[in-house]
Amino acid sequence: MSLASSSPGLELDGSIGVFFITGSFALALWAVGCLQLYLYYEKCWKTELPWLKAYVFVIWILDTVHQALIMKYLYVLDLVNTVILAATIDAMVQVVFVRRVWYLSNKNFILTGLLSAAVLAQFTATVVYYGQIHKSISLAEIVGVNKTALAFNCISAVMDLGISCTLIWLLRRGRSGFERTDSVLNRLIAYTIGSGLVTEVMWIIAIIGLLAIPNTTVSLLVDPVIPKRWFFLFSNHISIINMTAI
C-alpha cells in the first residue's frame, strides 16, 4: 500500500516532511537503544529476573521491526502499519512502569488498577485509530480521521503524565534520610522526569499540530519517537547497580 498520492490542499511539508525528520531522529534513538541493551545485559545478566530479560529482548525486537518499517515508509511512503506496532511497544513499556508503581505503592490495587485501565484505554484508542486508517491509500484519507488521532493523543498525554507524577510522588515518599538510598531515589526521579518530559513534549506537539494545522498528518509525529523510550527504563537499572556498587 502506497501513500504517495495526495489530494489538493494536503500539506506535504506537514506530513512527509515531518515524518522524515522524526524518522531520522528515531533512527539515532534506536542506535542508542542498541547500546543501552548491551549495557543492560552486561550489568544485569546475572541478577535480573529471567522473564524480564526476555521481556526486554522482545521489546528491542519489536522496536527494531518498528524502525525497519519507518525506514521503509521513508522510502516507499507506507506509514500506516507503524502505528499499531508503536502502540504495542508503548503498552509493553507502560506495563513495566505500572509494575514499578505496584511495588513502590506496596501493592496498592486501586492505584495500580487505575493506571492499568489507563494503559488499556490508550492502547484501545490507538487500535480504533489504526482500524480507521489501515486501508488508507492516500495521506488525505489519514487526515480525514484526525479527530480520532486527537482523542488518542490526548488520552496518551494524560496517561503518561499520570504515570510519571505517580512514580515521582512514590519515589519522593520513599526517601529515608540516608544519603546513599536517597541518592538512588533522586537518580530514579531524574530519569522519570526526563523520560516523561520527552514523551509529554511529543504528545503536546502532536495535539497542538492537530488543532493548529489539521490538514496534515502531524498526528503521526510521535509514532517514530515514542517507542524508543524503552531504554530509559533499563538505564535506571544500570544506574542503580552502578551506584549501589560504590
Structural domain boundaries in the chain: 12-232
Give pairs for 136-140: CB < 8 Å, separation 24+: 136/1, 136/3, 136/80, 137/1, 137/2, 137/3, 137/5, 138/3, 138/5, 138/6, 138/7, 139/3, 139/5, 139/6, 139/7, 139/10, 139/12, 139/15, 139/16, 139/217, 140/6, 140/7, 140/10
Distance CA 188, CA 169 (A): 12
How many whole angstroms separate alpha carbon 146 and alpha carbon 67? Answer: 24
Please write the tens of the pLDDT for every residue from 172-225: 887 777 776 677 777 778 777 777 777 788 788 888 877 887 776 666 666 677
> 3-class DSSP state for residue 51?
helix
Can you give the pTM of this predicted structure?
0.74
pLDDT in tens, 94-145: 888 888 889 888 889 999 999 999 889 888 888 887 787 776 656 666 667 7
Report d(CA 111, CA 118) in Å as an integer. Answer: 11
